[in-house]
Amino acid sequence: MSKLQISEQYKYGFESNVPSDALPPGLNEGVIRAISAKKNEPPFLLEWRLKAYRHWLKMVEPNWAKLNINPIDFNAISYFSKPKSQVDRPKSLDEVDPELLRTYERLGIPLHEQKMLAGVAMDAVFDSVSVATTFKEKLADAGVIFLPFSEAVEKHPDLIKKYMGTVIPYRDNFFAALNSAVFSDGSFVYIPPGVRCPMELSTYFRINAMNTGQFERTLIIADKGSYVSYLEGCSAPMRDENQLHAAVVELVAHEDSEIKYSTVQNWYPGDENGKGGIYNFVTKRGDCREARSKISWTQVETGSAITWKYPSVILKGDHSSGSFYSVAVVNNYQQADTGTKMVHIGKNTSSTIVSKGISTGKGQNTYRGLVKVSPLAKNARNHTECDSLLLSDTCGAHTFPYIEVSHPSAQVEHEATTSKISEQELFYCRQRGLSEEEAVNLIVNGFCKTVFQELPMEFAVEAQKLLEISLEGSVG
Amino acid sequence: MFEIKNLSADIDGKTILKGIDLKVNPGEVHAIMGPNGSGKSTMAGVISGNEDYNITAGKILLEGSDLHGLLPEERAGEGVFLAFQYPVAISGVNNMVFLQASLNSIRKYKGLEPLDAFDCIELIKNKMKLLHMNPELLQRGLNDGFSGGEKKRNEILQMLLLEPKLAILDETDSGLDIDALKTVAEGVNAMRDEKRSFIVVTHYQRLLDYIIPDVVHILKDGKIVLTGDYTLAQRLEKEGYGWLK
Ligand SMILES: Nc1ncnc2c1ncn2[C@@H]1O[C@H](COP(=O)(O)OP(=O)(O)O)[C@@H](O)[C@H]1O
Ligand SMILES: [Mg+2]
């Protein structure tokens, strides 16, 4: 496959000419103090960052057997970059740099409210800072707080203090500790008791500046009896160097509440020889803290050179339920190691896992999942379905389902399949007029159907297109 | 008109078709009969462009133009339809979605606007009625868990939708009970007109009682060894293939 084709495939690979105000590369306590100072953070937050940093220094980078990672030089990364025009946060979209707005237009995400998808409120994070949040008033009327993380720190420090780090402590793992020390921005959502959020909430993450890591933090709290559906999307310019993206996402679901969190991940995957691409090392965890709460993760992962993420649910509340629906695609030299952890603690808790891995080129696709039933988790139920589709002879699919059951009443089911698209299937489709590529897309979409159904409607079509682009030229 | 001239084909170095000549005029139905393994499905596959086979000699002409070098999907666009002896099942692909995709691909090839989902459903449901098919089959995976008869009807449904110039039915009758057989025959007869050609591969005279062929050929060991009219089918039914040299 030619270079040209690849460039066409990753149509989000352009770079915007937006002057940035960045910290020089390197990581030390001074850098952390500088980030915190730039954001006028309260002392408790600086303290927390420093504790995380000191803890991180003592940790060693995880070395996962199935991943082939170039060593990361943490001192070569700039930990903060923001568009110059954003030095004083714009009060409204009229004050946003038009070049930035154009960037989002090109990405297919117009931030002007009148042009936006109806019913979707959007926050856009460009490198390290949030540049625009739309539909603020409409959400405020419903009592919903949807703010860039740094703005939430200023306006609602009590909520941040109460919830941040309670699902993913900074000691959790190497990349979570790093994020806790240096995170720059992200999204914050609070849904008050009894409120059904009137629109989909969405954040679009974009890495633009070179040698910049993106370390965003998202915190979503659904108070009693509330409901929210949230979607994140991401992209980055094409570069030969690997760029690090180490996010943390924490979800807290109180009694009778429900959080649906969807991801369409399309970071630059690197070229056809495996050069460049984003290292996507993300910690995502939801806490079903109280009775009858529900958390659902849906992800469509098509981008990144390496994806390393296990969106998990801690099922503490009695009758709480968690689900994980995933499509992960690897092409060329991409590597994905993804899955989930479902930790059953409360009584009568249930979890559902549906993982669809599609592999082609020399891609390596690993499902790694843990279902844990603790000694008090009476009547826990889990159903896991783990399917792999192989489109080339040089790719690999691996499945590591770990099951730890400590209560005899648990019902844990695991099904796994591996399939290829047969010549007979292709010929049948082609005899009916479909090209080989159309036939593959049709079969792949059918394969992913149960996951796409979980996405908000506006994004299901988008995800389908993205999948087709990722697999372009991968058959025949 | 559909014409095959001196067609020979190999698979894995083994010669299966050994110089076949066949001419089907518009509006005609030709039956191909012959013992198992004589090359009937191979011939159908070669005509529709299955790349497993290697054509060593001969020509395939549809309305005077050579199909050589056309991909299977292009041949389908040109109007070649094959009702498979063993239709594949693709469990994840919704039958309705598949039928719509297929119909619109063929329309696109012909330079026609695609039909939207509503028009498609309308059209498909009408054709299904003709074939006494349960509309629930649209919501299932393509041929997924379909009975033998349901699969064959689904093939004929696609033939009715795609309106080919040349339809090849490869043992569509095997495994059908008499009612299903009649329905399938009705579907075919409904499409018979002076522009369309049919090649009906079968072992049984039974089907030919309902789809009356204009010409009957006997294929044996990769060659057409005998050509006649409907009475040839009757003789085969009574005497088997033993009397053929
Ligand atoms: N994929 C294949 N590889 C090798 N031989 C094949 C293959 N497909 C068909 N054949 C052989 O070709 C001959 C003709 O088969 P076929 O066309 O299916 O016959 P028919 O449809 O008349 O029963 C048989 O001997 C069969 O074994
Ligand atoms: Mg056969």
Q: What is the CA radius of gyration of chain A?
A: 21
Query: Is the CB of A425 inside 8 Å of chain B's CB atoms?
Result: yes
Q: What does the pLDDT average to over A468-474?
A: 76
State which residue of chain B sits closest to A442, comparing Cα positions. Answer: B93
Best mutation site among B42, B168, B220 for ligand 1, i.e. most ligand atoms within 8 A of its Cβ? B42
Q: Please give the share of chain A, as a percent, with pLDDT higher than 70.
A: 79
Could you give the C-alpha distances from B182 to A400, B125, B155, B190, B229, in angstroms and in order?
Answer: 53, 19, 15, 12, 21
Q: Is A42 exposed, middle or buried (0-12, 13-18, 19+ CB in 10 A)?
A: middle
* Spans of all domains in chain B: 2-239
Q: What does the pLDDT average to over A263-270?
A: 82
Report the pLDDT value the prediction gives residue A96, as an integer from 0 to 100: 62
CB–CB contact A443 B98 (8 Å): no
A436: chain B residues, CB-CB within 8 Å: 73
State which residue of chain B sits closest to A441, comparing Cα positions. Answer: B93
Model confidence pLDDT, tens digit, residues A405-445? 999 999 999 999 999 999 999 999 999 999 999 999 999 99
Q: Give yes or no for residue A218 having a pLDDT over 90.
A: yes
Listed range (A103-112, B31-40, B164-173) with the worst mean pLDDT: A103-112
Q: Between B51 and A66, name the one with better pLDDT.
A: B51
Whether residue A407 contacts residue A374, with contact meaning beta carbons closer than 8 Å, is answered with yes
Report the pLDDT value the prediction gives residue A20, as an integer from 0 to 100: 62
Amino acid identity, position A346: G
Whole-prediction pTM value? 0.85
Full 3-state SS string of chain A: CCHHHHHHHCCCCCCCCCCEEECCCCCCHHHHHHHHHHCCCCHHHHHHHHHHHHHHHCCCCCCCCCCCCCCCCCCCCECCEEEHHHCCCCCCHHHCCHHHHHHHHHCCCCCCHHHCCCCEEEEEEECCEEEEECCHHHHHHCCCEEEEHHHHHHHCHHHHHHHCCCCCCCCCCHHHHHHHHHCCCEEEEEECCCCECCCEEEEEEECCCCCECECCEEEEEECCCCEEEEEEEEECCCCCCEEEECCEEEEEECCCCEEEEEEEECCCCCCCCCCCEEEEEEEEEEEECCCCCEEEEEEEECCCCEEEECCEEEECCCCCEEEEEEEEEECCCCEEEECCEEEECCCCCEEEEEEEEEECCCCEEEEEEEEEECCCCCCCEEEEEEEEEECCCCCEEEEEEEEEECCCCCEEEEEEEEEECCHHHHHHHHHCCCCHHHHHHHHHHHHHHHHHCCCCHHHHHHHHHHHHHHHCCCCC
Phi, psi of B78, deg, nearest 5:
-75, -15
State which residue of chain A sits closest to B101, comparing Cα positions. Answer: A434
Q: Give yes or no for residue A241 having a pLDDT over 50.
A: yes
Kindly give, in sequence order, each residue whose CB lies less than 8 Å from that of residue A325, ignoring residues fewer than 6 positions away: A296, A297, A298, A299, A352, A354, A450, A451, A454
Architecture of domain B2-239: 3-Layer(aba) Sandwich (3.40)
Q: What does the pLDDT average to over A165-176?
A: 96
Model confidence pLDDT, tens digit, residues B100-143? 999 999 999 999 999 999 999 999 999 999 999 999 999 999 99
Listed range (A15-19, A216-220, B23-27) with the worst mean pLDDT: A15-19
Listed range (A126-135, B19-28, B142-151) with the worst mean pLDDT: A126-135
Listed range (A43-52, A101-110, B10-19) with the worst mean pLDDT: A101-110
Give CA–CA dist B239/B215, Å, rounded: 19
Q: What does the pLDDT average to over A89-106?
A: 62
Give the pLDDT band of residue A476 (cuts 50, 70, 90).
Answer: very low
Give the pLDDT band of residue A108 (cuts 50, 70, 90).
Answer: low
Report how far ligand 2's centroid is from the alpha carbon of B8 (Å): 17
Q: Give yes or no for residue A83 having a pLDDT over 80.
A: no
ipTM, interface predicted TM-score of the complex = 0.97
Report how far ligand 1's centroid is from the alpha carbon of B237 (Å): 23
Q: Give yes or no for residue B6 having a pLDDT over 50.
A: yes
Q: Which ligand is nearest to the CA of B174?
A: 2
Q: Give yes or no for residue A87 having a pLDDT over 80.
A: no
Listed range (A110-119, A199-208, B29-38) with the worst mean pLDDT: A110-119
Q: Between A5 and A196, name the one with better pLDDT.
A: A196
Task: Choose among B48, B82, B92: nearest Cβ to A443.
Answer: B92
Give the pLDDT band of residue A272 (cuts 50, 70, 90).
Answer: confident
Q: Between A218 and A118, name the one with better pLDDT.
A: A218
Listed range (A142-146, A278-282, A290-294, A370-374) with the worst mean pLDDT: A278-282
Q: Is B41 in the pocket of ligand 1 (CB under 6 A)?
A: yes
Give the pLDDT band of residue A114 (cuts 50, 70, 90).
Answer: very low
Model confidence pLDDT, tens digit, residues A350-390? 999 999 999 999 999 999 999 999 999 999 999 999 999 99
Report the pLDDT value the prediction gives residue A269, as an integer from 0 to 100: 81
Q: Give yes or no for residue A112 having a pLDDT over 70.
A: no
